[in-house]
Structure 1
Amino acid sequence: MKGASTWKLKLRLWIVTVALFALLYVIVMLISSYFGFGGPLAFTVLAFIIVFAQYMLGPKIVESTMRVNYVSEAEAPRLHAMVEDLAIKANIPKPRVGIAEIGIPNAFAFGKTKKDGRICVTRGILKLLDDEELEAVLGHEMSHIRHSDMIVMTLISVVPLICYYIFISTLFSSGERNSGGAIIGIAALGAYLAGQLLVLFVSRVREYYADQGSVELGCKPHKLASALYKLVYGSAAANKDELKKVEGLKAFFVNDVSDASNEIKDLRQIDVNLDGVITEDELAELKYTPAKIGTGAKVMEILSTHPNMVKRVKRLAELS
């Protein structure tokens, strides 16, 4: 099952990546025709230079925004032991281990390659989860590195931004060729909207596979479900100013920190005794019970970086 599921994930990632760069190429060709110089090749090279710069600078941007401090085994022995054990099970090099100096309870993985992988936790999550819950979350992040999907996200996320920049630039164009500029602007806006939806789709899909990957690495499904449940509550109670500072990188987090308040209501149906955790029995009961998801939540999921949390927990119930 593991090989088949990973193959499906990689196929989806490749299809979306090709679609996004095809959109970008169309816009590039329109621009070259509009200006009458440079040709498609020159503009394509420029676009790839921008993407490559994003790829190279991405980790530094994450480190700076999240205030990451890499820690040694002496400084965080429990964290290092968990990461090392999971890396051995995943058959990948042990990622660098870091702690983000922010209070929002969460974790994230990033890097340019598997050898360059980094797994970080926030100060907030260390105070919130028990050892098995934390291990399940780390297994989720280890799976992102194992699947290399964090590399794809770094690459494709810049494509809609390029299209948006082109659209904004055409708004201030003037002269006799305004009609041609308007056509490019409309095409760039359409490409931006379509590209953004595709990036969000990839972001949601990779979360399902990372959840499954955590279970494949030996972590308990109900412990990951319980961790996700706690992270939603923790995100909803987090400092709003701190949330705004990291919102641009929320796709790296385990859950959508911006939508946490809206997810709490639907999640209460799973925590039968309302004790703040999801037990093995509660998750098993969900396996045979239809999950109730509000219409608004279903609509908002399309515009979210993460799948609906009730659906994620339901999927974990099916894996248990």
Structure 2
Amino acid sequence: MRKLSTWKLKLRMFLATALLFGIIYAILIAIGAFMGFGGPLFYALLGLGIVFIQYLISPKIVELTMNVHYVTEAEAPRLHAMVSELAMNAGIPKPRVGIAEIDVPNAFAFGRSKSDGRVCVTRGILNLLDEEELRAVLGHEISHIKHSDMIVMTLVSAVPLICYYIFWSTLYSRDDDASLIGLAALLAYFLGQLIVLFISRTREYYADQGSIEIGGQPHKLASALYKLVYGSARFDRDDLKQIEGVKAFFLNDVTDARNEINDLRQLDMDMDGTISPGELQRLKYTGVRVGAGARILELISTHPNMLKRIQRLSEFT
């Protein structure tokens, strides 16, 4: 297995984050100049307050939304054993282990810090994946904790939120300068959202790589992703809408699964429902065919295009 350098992923994350905070800084400077009191410091403190509150309450929101209950080693010995081993390989404290009473097959990680990490699987994934596929999935989630992705996404997601708040606060103003600031904030909100989505997609590639580095097998992670797409596509759109607000936590964009199925058929050559080592290695030399529509949709998605994502896993074979 060839170990890939992470510097390109880290550089992309850094540049996107720097651009995002540059946008909010410019907006704050403009507001400070217009208002004449408080200046950017006032809105910077406001933004930090929003981030801090989000940081404090986000784990509880996730637990309630996902219907999470934590399990002991006696209740789920296999899960605990895999999480313990992977966390040790990643060099982080063992996260809490939970099961979300959701039928859609998936897994997710959250928490306030590495020492507060929680790894959860949905009820649906336990009946779908084999043990090595599940191990690769758990490795992906533990890598999110190792990379502090929960904190990063909390911080960057607050920036468009602040821009949106500024826009609404100036929406009914009759002052031309305030209206211009509101318009700039609205544009910054949309641009900020695109940057946040870009960061979200990059962290998924990074976590995929992290899973391989701490013991996951590339073809098993590819096979798990393939199964998760098909597993999500079986659900009614109304059922998926209930978890749309938290889909960024999952391994794949569950609401886009139906659109990905046709493209994924080019991966499973023997149509056995899994991605074998040979099928994955073939992608290293043949590549994948990603349509223009899928490339455009990827720009507004929390997750990378699944074909591109699985092709990147082939580089580890």
TM-score, length basis structure 2: 0.95
| Residue in structure 1 matching 2:254, options 250, 254, 257 | 257
1:248 corresponds, among 235, 245, 249, to: 245
Q: 1:55 to 1:76 in 2, by over 3 A?
A: same
Is the Cα contact below 8 Å between 2:4 and 2:316 reproduced in 1?
no
Matched, 1:207 2:204: yes
Task: Report which stretch shifted further, 12-21 or 198-207.
Answer: 12-21
Give the counterpart letter for 1:59 in structure 2.
P
Residue 97 of structure 2 aligns to a residue in which SS? strand
2:208 maps to amino acid:
D
Residues 82-231 of structure 1 mapped to structure 2, 5 A cutoff:
82-173=82-173, 175=174, 177=175, 179-231=176-228
- The Cα shift of 1:2 comes to 6.2
Q: Hey, what's the Cα distance between the residues in 2 that align with 1:291 and 1:3?
A: 20
What SS does the aligned partner of 2:69 have?
strand
Aligned length: 316
1:280 aligns with 2:274: no
Aligned to 2:316: 319
Alpha-carbon contact 2:13-2:199 (below 8 Å) kept: yes
Partner of 1:70: 70
Q: CA deviation at 1:8?
A: 4.2
Give the deviation of 1:158 after TM superposition: 1.7
Q: Residue 186 of structure 2 aligns to which amino acid in structure 1?
A: L
Alignment deviations for residues 158-183 of structure 1 (CA, whole Å, 9 cap, x no partner): 2112212222332233x4x2x11210
* Letter of the 2:256 counterpart: D
What letter matches 1:289 in structure 2? T
What residue in structure 1 maps to residue 25 of structure 2? 25
**Once the two structures are superposed, what CA deviation does each residue of 1:70-90 show, in whole Å capped at 9, x if it has no partner?**
111111111111100101111
C-alpha distance in structure 1 between counterparts of 2:12 and 2:280, whole Å: 29
Distance 1:168 1:123 in 2: 40
TM-score, L = length of structure 1: 0.94
The 1:4/1:229 distance shift into structure 2, 3 A limit, reads closer
Q: Find runs of 4+ consecutive structure 1 residues off by over 4 angstroms.
A: 1-4
Structure 1 equivalent of residue 12 of structure 2: 12
How large is the RMSD of aligned CA atoms in angstroms? 1.6
- Distance across 2 between alignment mates of 1:318 and 1:41: 46
Task: State, as a whole percentage, how many aligned pairs show the same letter.
Answer: 65
